[in-house]
Structure 1
Amino acid sequence: MASSSSSSSSPAARCFTLTLFLLFTCSLAAPLRYQPSPSQLKLDSAKIAAKGQAERMIRSLNLFPKHEANVVFNDQSARDEPRISEKKISLNVSGGPGGGNGPSIKQFGHYAGYYSLPTTKAAKMFYFFFESRVNNSNAPVVIWLTGGPGCASELALFYENGPFQIRDDMSLQWNDYGWDQASNILYVDQPTGTGFSYTTDDSDIRHNETGVSNDLYSFLQEFFKGHSKYANNDFYITGESYAGHYIPALASRIYKGNKNNEGIHINLKGFAIGNGLTDPGIQYKAYPEYALAAKLITKADHDSITSNLVPPCQSAISACDSAGDDGCTEALSTCQEIFSSIMSIAGSINYYDIRKQCEGSLCYDFSRMEQFLGDDNVKSALGVKDIDFVSCSSVVHNAMMGDWMVDYETGIPTLLENGIKVLIYAGEYDLICNWMGNSNWVNAMKWSGQQKFQGASTVPFMAGNTKSGELKSYGPLAFLKVYNAGHMVPMDQPKAALQMLQGWMQGKI
Structure 2
Amino acid sequence: MGQKLFLLLLLIVVSSSSSLFQFGISSSISHKSGDGNEEWGYVQVRPKAHMFWWLYRSPFRVKDASKPWPTILWLQGGPGGSGTGFGNFLEIGPLDSNLKPRNSTWLRKADLLFVDNPVGTGYSFVDNLGQFAKGDWDAANDMTTLLTKVSNNTIGLHNTPFYIFAESYGGKFAVTLALSLLRSIQAGHLKLNLRGVALGDSWISPEDFTSSWGPLLHDLSRIGSVAHQISNEIALEISDQIKKGMYDNATVSWNNLEDFIVTRSNGVDFYNFMLDDDMDPVVSTTINIESNSIDSMKLKGRKPSFFSYKNYKPGGEGNLDALMNGPIKQKLKIIPPDVTWGGQSDKVFEFFTADFMKPRINEVDELLAKGVNVTIYNGQVDLICCTKGVEAWINKLKWNELKSFLNTERIPLFCGKEKGTKGFIRSHKNLNFYWILGAGHFVPVDQPCVTLNMVSAITESPAS
TM-score bracket relative to the smaller structure = 0.7 to 0.9
Question: CA offsets per residue over residues 400-450 of structure 1, 9 Å max, x none?
Answer: 111111111111222112221111111111111111111221232110111
TM-score (norm 2): 0.82
Q: Which has the higher contact order (CA 8 A, sep 6+)?
A: 1
Question: The residue matched to 1:403 in structure 2 has which SS?
Answer: coil
Q: Equivalent residue for 1:243?
A: 170
1:332 aligns with one of 251, 257, 264: 251
Q: Equivalent residue for 1:116?
A: 44
Q: Could you tell me whether the CA contact under 8 Å between 2:438 and 2:447 is conserved in 1?
A: yes
Q: Could you tell me whether the CA contact under 8 Å between 1:439 and 1:479 is conserved in 2?
A: no
Q: Equivalent residue for 1:63?
A: none
TM superposition shift of 1:268: 0.9
Q: Distance in 1 between matches of 2:49 and 2:156?
A: 27
Question: CA offsets per residue over residues 337-370 of structure 1, 9 Å max, x none?
Answer: 4433322221122221122223399845426221
Instruction: Determine if the alignment matches structure 1 residue 345 to structure 2 residue 264.
Output: yes
TM superposition shift of 1:264: 2.1
Q: Distance in 1 between matches of 2:58 and 2:120?
A: 28
Q: Distance in 1 between matches of 2:258 and 2:55?
A: 37
Instruction: Determine if the alignment matches structure 1 residue 85 to structure 2 residue 29.
Output: yes
**Residue segments in structure 2 that go unaligned for 5+ positions in a row:** 1-15, 285-309, 314-318
1:334/1:372 CA distance change after superposition, 3 Å: closer
Instruction: Determine if the alignment matches structure 1 residue 156 to structure 2 residue 87.
Output: yes
Q: Could you tell me whether the CA contact under 8 Å between 1:370 and 1:391 is conserved in 2?
A: no
Q: Distance in 2 between matches of 1:394 and 1:292?
A: 33
Question: The residue matched to 2:362 in structure 1 has which SS?
Answer: coil
Instruction: Determine if the alignment matches structure 1 residue 166 to structure 2 residue 97.
Output: yes
2:444 aligns with one of 467, 490, 497: 490
1:195 aligns with one of 104, 122, 140: 122
TM superposition shift of 1:182: 1.0
Question: Partner amino acid for 1:472?
Answer: R
Question: CA offsets per residue over residues 131-167 of structure 1, 9 Å max, x none?
Answer: 1223277311111011111111111100100111122
Q: Equivalent residue for 1:62?
A: none
Q: Distance in 2 between matches of 1:377 and 1:489?
A: 25
Of 491-500 and 226-235, more deviation after overlay is shown by: 226-235
Question: Partner amino acid for 1:449?
Answer: E
TM-score (norm 1): 0.75
Q: Equivalent residue for 1:369?
A: 320
Q: Distance in 1 between matches of 2:199 and 2:145?
A: 22
Q: Could you tell me whether the CA contact under 8 Å between 1:140 and 1:234 is conserved in 2?
A: yes
TM superposition shift of 1:243: 0.7
Instruction: Determine if the alignment matches structure 1 residue 383 to structure 2 residue 383.
Output: no
Q: Equivalent residue for 1:144?
A: 74
Question: CA offsets per residue over residues 6-50 of structure 1, 9 Å max, x none?
Answer: xxxxxxxxxxxxxxxxxxxxxxxxxxxxxxxxxxxxxxxxxxxxx
Q: Distance in 2 between matches of 1:296 and 1:342?
A: 9
TM superposition shift of 1:456: 1.4
Of 337-346 and 208-217, more deviation after overlay is shown by: 337-346
TM superposition shift of 1:276: 1.1
Question: Partner amino acid for 2:44?
Answer: S
Instruction: Determine if the alignment matches structure 1 residue 423 to structure 2 residue 350.
Output: no
1:427/1:377 CA distance change after superposition, 3 Å: closer
Question: Partner amino acid for 1:432?
Answer: I
Question: CA offsets per residue over residues 296-329 of structure 1, 9 Å max, x none?
Answer: 22455434533x2232221111011xxxxxx211
Q: Could you tell me whether the CA contact under 8 Å between 2:77 and 2:168 is conserved in 1?
A: yes
Q: Could you tell me whether the CA contact under 8 Å between 1:148 and 1:392 is conserved in 2?
A: no
Q: Could you tell me whether the CA contact under 8 Å between 1:121 and 1:201 is conserved in 2?
A: no
Instruction: Determine if the alignment matches structure 1 residue 179 to structure 2 residue 110.
Output: no
Q: Distance in 1 between matches of 2:279 and 2:375?
A: 35
Q: Equivalent residue for 2:387?
A: 435
1:75 aligns with one of 16, 19, 35: 19
Q: Could you tell me whether the CA contact under 8 Å between 1:152 and 1:392 is conserved in 2?
A: no
TM superposition shift of 1:452: 0.6
Question: CA offsets per residue over residues 154-202 of structure 1, 9 Å max, x none?
Answer: 11100100111122xxxx2221111111111110011111111112222
Instruction: Determine if the alignment matches structure 1 residue 213 to structure 2 residue 140.
Output: yes
Instruction: Determine if the alignment matches structure 1 residue 268 to structure 2 residue 194.
Output: yes
1:507/1:109 CA distance change after superposition, 3 Å: closer
Q: Equivalent residue for 1:258?
A: 185
Question: CA offsets per residue over residues 216-247 of structure 1, 9 Å max, x none?
Answer: 00111111123454313111111211112111
Q: Could you tell me whether the CA contact under 8 Å between 2:197 and 2:375 is conserved in 1?
A: yes
Q: Distance in 2 between matches of 1:76 and 1:271?
A: 35
Q: Could you tell me whether the CA contact under 8 Å between 1:234 and 1:269 is conserved in 2?
A: yes
Question: The residue matched to 2:167 in structure 1 has which SS?
Answer: strand
1:303/1:280 CA distance change after superposition, 3 Å: same
Instruction: Determine if the alignment matches structure 1 residue 411 to structure 2 residue 342.
Output: no
Q: Could you tell me whether the CA contact under 8 Å between 1:141 and 1:235 is conserved in 2?
A: yes
TM superposition shift of 1:383: 2.2
Instruction: Determine if the alignment matches structure 1 residue 287 to structure 2 residue 218.
Output: no
Question: Partner amino acid for 2:383?
Answer: L
Q: Could you tell me whether the CA contact under 8 Å between 2:20 and 2:336 is conserved in 1?
A: no
In the TM superposition, 1:466-505 aligns within 5 A as 466=418, 467-505=421-459
Question: The residue matched to 1:444 in structure 2 has which SS?
Answer: coil
1:339/1:202 CA distance change after superposition, 3 Å: closer
Q: Distance in 2 between matches of 1:284 and 1:121?
A: 38
In the TM superposition, 1:38-57 aligns within 5 A as none
Aligned pairs, number: 407
1:229/1:122 CA distance change after superposition, 3 Å: closer
Q: Could you tell me whether the CA contact under 8 Å between 2:71 and 2:113 is conserved in 1?
A: yes
Of 407-416 and 133-142, more deviation after overlay is shown by: 133-142
Question: Partner amino acid for 1:451?
Answer: K
Q: Could you tell me whether the CA contact under 8 Å between 1:140 and 1:235 is conserved in 2?
A: yes
Q: Could you tell me whether the CA contact under 8 Å between 2:110 and 2:461 is conserved in 1?
A: no
Q: Equivalent residue for 1:32?
A: none
Q: Distance in 1 between matches of 2:117 and 2:249?
A: 25
**Residue segments in structure 1 that go unaligned for 5+ positions in a row:** 1-71, 91-105, 321-326
Q: Distance in 2 between matches of 1:82 and 1:333?
A: 41
TM superposition shift of 1:454: 1.4
Q: Distance in 1 between matches of 2:220 and 2:457?
A: 30
